[in-house]
Amino acid sequence: MSGKALGTARGLLLVAATLAATGCEWFTDFKQQPKIKPWQWEYAGDTVTPMRGSPMYSVPLTGNPEPAYVVSYQQLPGTIDSMSTLQNPHAPTPASLDNGRKYFQINCAVCHGIGGGGNGTAVQYGVPAPSLLSDVTKNRADGYIYGMIRNGRGLMPTYDRIEDMDRWDVVNYVRALQGKIPGVTADTSPAGFPGENGRSVPGYTRTGPTRPAPYRPQDVAQWMSELEDTAALAQPATDSLNAAKPAAAPKGAHP
């Protein structure tokens, strides 16, 4: 090999070694592009960077199709009122009512009762629950009931774990319990039984990400601190376990 060729080869080897040492890559793909992930600015404690979208808040981070400039997703009483104008996109078909019955019986019947009369099991233990069959509730808008399920109010917690489209099906089922769907009598038989799986339990997540309230940087910091404390407490036990292990026998030694 000539001196010039040898020099070129050495140069290429030097470049390759430098790239390997610095962790550089020749090729990248789309997932490695700079981007802002959901909640990333909140985790970093950035309270200046505005939410994405034009107009602002038009890109939802809540898992719901309604952007935040149309309704409010904060945990405030006025939030539910802001959702009153939302229109139910699901017709009360048999499939919608059956799905709504499942989620109602899993989440709502324990307080409101299987038939919606406010006589669920929890009421026997002092938890007040209004009847869903009263004229007041019957006259509520679909969007209002949807917002109540999502955010809760008073003693009722948020049931944001019921996904957006399933939540509209629950609204349809409540309307069937109220007798407001012509020609439909609500089915109050069990949608599933204890230990039963399959279609009788909630399905996979389809509209994530969802969040009942924003994560705050201070909450994340506390969570990370607790994880570190837990790891520190577990370390002495791991060290003791390693110390108690017998030393490895020399290579070639007989037991």
DSSP state at residue 156: B
CATH 2.60.120.460 fits 77-191, yes or no: no
Check residue 116 and give its pLDDT: 97
Check residue 213 and give its pLDDT: 43
- Averaged pLDDT, groups of 10, the chain, 255 residues long: 62 62 54 56 55 64 71 78 91 96 96 96 93 96 94 86 91 98 96 89 70 52 72 64 56 51
Distance in angstroms (rounded) separating the CA atoms of residues 102 and 85: 26
Q: List the structure tokens of 197.
A: 């799986």
Check residue 199 and give its pLDDT: 87
Check residue 90 and give its pLDDT: 93
Distance in angstroms (rounded) separating the CA atoms of residues 110 and 120: 5
The domain locations on the chain are: 77-191
Check residue 189 and give its pLDDT: 96
H or E stretch at 170: helix 164-177
Beta carbons of 122 and 111 less than 8 angstroms apart: yes
- What's the maximum distance between 2 C-alpha atoms anywhere in the chain? 97
Beta carbons of 105 and 174 less than 8 angstroms apart: no
pTM for the full model? 0.63
Beta carbons of 89 and 147 less than 8 angstroms apart: no
Beta carbons of 173 and 100 less than 8 angstroms apart: yes
